[in-house]
A and B are shown apart, each in its own frame.
Chain A
Amino acid sequence: MNKTININLAGIIFHLDEGAYESFKDYLNQIKNALDPQEGGAEIIADIEARIAELFSMRMQESKREAITIEDVNFIQTTLGNPQEFEDESDEAPHTSAGVSAGKKRLFRNTDESIIGGVASGIAAYFGTDVVWIRIIFLVLLFFTGIGFITYLILWMAIPEAKTTAQKLQMRGEPVNLSNIERSVKEELEGVKERFGRFREENQGTGQSIRKTVNKGLNFIINILERLFKLVFKFFGLLFILIGLVIGFTLFVALFGVIASTWNFGGIDFISIDGNILGLNAAEAILGSGIELTLMRIGSLLTLLFPILGLTTVLAKALRKPLANGRLVNIVGGTSFCLGLALLLYAGGNVLSSFKVSTTEMRTVKLQGSTFDLRAELLEESDGFLFEIDDDNLRIENVKLNIKRSFDTTATLAMKHRARGSSNSDARKRAMQFNYPFEQVGPVMSISEYFTVPEEALYRGQELEVILHLPLGSEVYLDPSVENLLYGIDNAHNMWDGEMIGHTWKMERRGLVCMDCEEIDYFESEAVEEQIEALELEIKKLKDN
Chain B
Amino acid sequence: MRKGILEYCILGILDSSDAYASDIIDQLKGAKLIVVEGTLYPLLTRLKNAGLLEYRWEESSSGPPRKYYSLSNSGRAFQKELKMTWEELQSAVTILTTRPNQS
Contact = CB atoms under 8 A, between A and B. Distances in A.
A186 B83 CA distance: 12
A164 B99 CA distance: 11
A57 B63 CA distance: 6
Given A164-B97, A178-B43, A196 B49 contact: no
Contacts of A53: 63-64
A93 to B, nearest CB: 13
A289 interface: no
B63 A47 contact: no
Nearest to B49: A40
Interface string B1-30: 111110110000000000001100000000
A185 B97 contact: no
Interface string A35-46: 100111001100
B46 A178 contact: yes
Interface SS of chain A:
helix
A86 B82 CA distance: 23
Interface in A317-356: none
B36 A215 contact: no
Contacts of B63: 10, 12, 50, 53-54, 56-58
A47 B95 contact: no
Given A10-B64, A50-B64, A169-B1, A219 B95 contact: yes
Contacts of A163: 102
Interface string A6-31: 00011110000000000000000001
Interface stretch (A76-84, A447-455, A466-474): A76-84
A184 B85 CA distance: 11
Nearest to B52: A178
A467 to B, nearest CB: 77
Contacts of B78: 182
A175 B38 CA distance: 18
Interface residues of A, number: 58
Contacts of B42: 35, 38, 44, 86-88
Interface residues of B, number: 46
B2 A101 contact: yes
A259 interface: no
- Residue from B47, B82, B86 whose CB has the most chain A CB atoms within 10 Å: B82
B93 A182 contact: no
B31 interface: no
Interface in B22-73: 22, 35-39, 41-47, 49-50, 52, 60, 62-67
B64 A12 contact: yes
B62 A61 contact: yes
A189 interface: yes
A103 B4 CA distance: 13
Contact of A80 (B22, B36, B91, B97): B36
A456 interface: no
Given A12-B64, A87-B42, A178-B43, 18 more contacts: A31-B38, A39-B46, A47-B67, A50-B67, A56-B63, A57-B62, A58-B63, A85-B38, A101-B3, A163-B102, A165-B93, A176-B4, A178-B4, A179-B46, A189-B92, A196-B88, A196-B92, A215-B91
25 contacts: A12-B64, A38-B42, A39-B46, A39-B49, A44-B41, A47-B21, A47-B67, A50-B66, A51-B22, A54-B63, A79-B37, A85-B38, A86-B39, A102-B1, A103-B1, A178-B52, A181-B8, A181-B82, A182-B82, A185-B85, A185-B86, A185-B89, A189-B89, A192-B92, A193-B88
The 3 closest A-B pairs by CB, nearest first: A81-B36, A176-B4, A54-B63
